Structure 1
Amino acid sequence: MNICVFCSAAELDSVYTEAAREFAELLGKRGHSLVWGGSDSGLMKVVADGVQGAGGRLIGVSVEFLRDVARPDTDEMAVAADLAERKALLLDRADAVVVLVGGTGTLDEATEILELRKHGMHSKPVVVLNTAGFYNGLQQQMTRMEAEGFLPVPLADLVSFADDGPQALELLGA
């Protein structure tokens, strides 16, 4: 299974990096391929190192203005002209999506994927790995959106929230 992971390219606290590393190693050990933003820095590097070190394949999709921080030792690497094309290529290459901790870029990627799913543009499972409760606020907001009629489909049909890597993979059916 090709699993797209959205996450930060920033250096983060060990509570986040250790959880990401454990999840990445599970992906690699189970024979999954990582589809990710292609960066060789921060949490993206941690995830790529973990997958590759455990025997998994790396499928990167960088963007032209970040070409200089793209990981050189991938199995495949595409370079998109802009962020919109990058998101489309990431989704196209993936069988499923997992959202790890991140900033506005990660949130942008996650919400676009959820919007496309809401409109039936894809049916790939989406799981948010809620490390240390990082996405509790997002989960609460989405629950409110559903309760107040802002989501035309049940929240459970859009996204699942997992507390750890094994649960995330279980929710993906991986």
Structure 2
Amino acid sequence: MSPAEVNKSPLVAIVGSARIEQSDIRWQQASELGAAFADSGYEVMTGGYGGLMAAVAQGASAAGGKTIGLPMKNWDYLTPDSSHQELRWSENYFERLAHLLSADYLVVLDGGIGTLSEMALAWAIAQTEVKHAQIIVLGEGIKELLSNFQSSLVISQPDMDVLFFYDSHEEIVNHIKSGIGTIQSVKKAHG
């Protein structure tokens, strides 16, 4: 049984930039997203460090939610954000990714190479594995990049159909509550 199957409530992993500062509007939006997940009873998992990861964790923690951080043992130059109630330390990046991929949902916020790599791996797994994290993209940055990918690479519409795009945390919470795109509803839609 996977870690996500043991949880009583959905586990939502959020990936996004560690470099975005508190003065950026996206930081406030990420904090509100974390609070919305906590208010809905969802457990929140982030990379464990600063930027949007800290914003989500702080928002969720302030709203009384459970937060899980995924720091790296060999990244001794970084300190995990203190708002994570549980830290799952990883020896290497692959172990950290396995924790992320154990989530029921992966919400992708604006970010850089790390965010892109995490989303791309989850996306590839969504194409090949029956059980996988559902991928939800918030905002325009990643959406625009993926549109460019589709027009420049060998990415078909069915490849894009495993991704869900939203503009607000309310839409994401409603998506999760409704069960849109769950494995059961996808099977019904295709068979």
**1:52 is aligned to 2:61:** yes
Structure 1: runs of 5+ lacking an equivalent: none
Alpha-carbon deviations, 1:18-46, whole Å to 9, x = none?
A: 2112111101111111111111x222111
2:69–2:88 contact (8 Å) kept in structure 1: yes
Higher relative contact order (CA 8 A, sep 6+): 1
CA distance in 2, matches of 1:49, 1:72: 9
**1:126 is aligned to 2:135:** yes
More strand as a share of residues: 1
Question: 2:96: which partner in 1?
Answer: 86
Structure 2: runs of 5+ lacking an equivalent: 1-9, 179-191
Question: 1:9: which partner in 2?
Answer: 18
Question: 1:101: which partner in 2?
Answer: 110
CA distance in 1, matches of 2:24, 2:100: 27
Question: 1:166: which partner in 2?
Answer: 170
Return the TM-score normalized by structure 1.
0.84
SS in 2 for 1:126: strand
**1:155 is aligned to 2:177:** no
Give the aligned residue type for 2:20.
E
Matches within 5 A, 1:56-75: 56-67=65-76, 68-75=78-85
CA distance in 1, matches of 2:131, 2:75: 27
CA distance in 2, matches of 1:10, 1:107: 14
Considering only aligned residues, what root-mean-square deviation do their CA atoms show, in Å? 2.2
Displacement of 1:57 after TM fit? 0.2
Return the TM-score normalized by structure 2.
0.78
2:109–2:142 contact (8 Å) kept in structure 1: no
Displacement of 1:149 after TM fit? 5.6
2:137–2:143 contact (8 Å) kept in structure 1: no
CA distance in 2, matches of 1:63, 1:163: 31
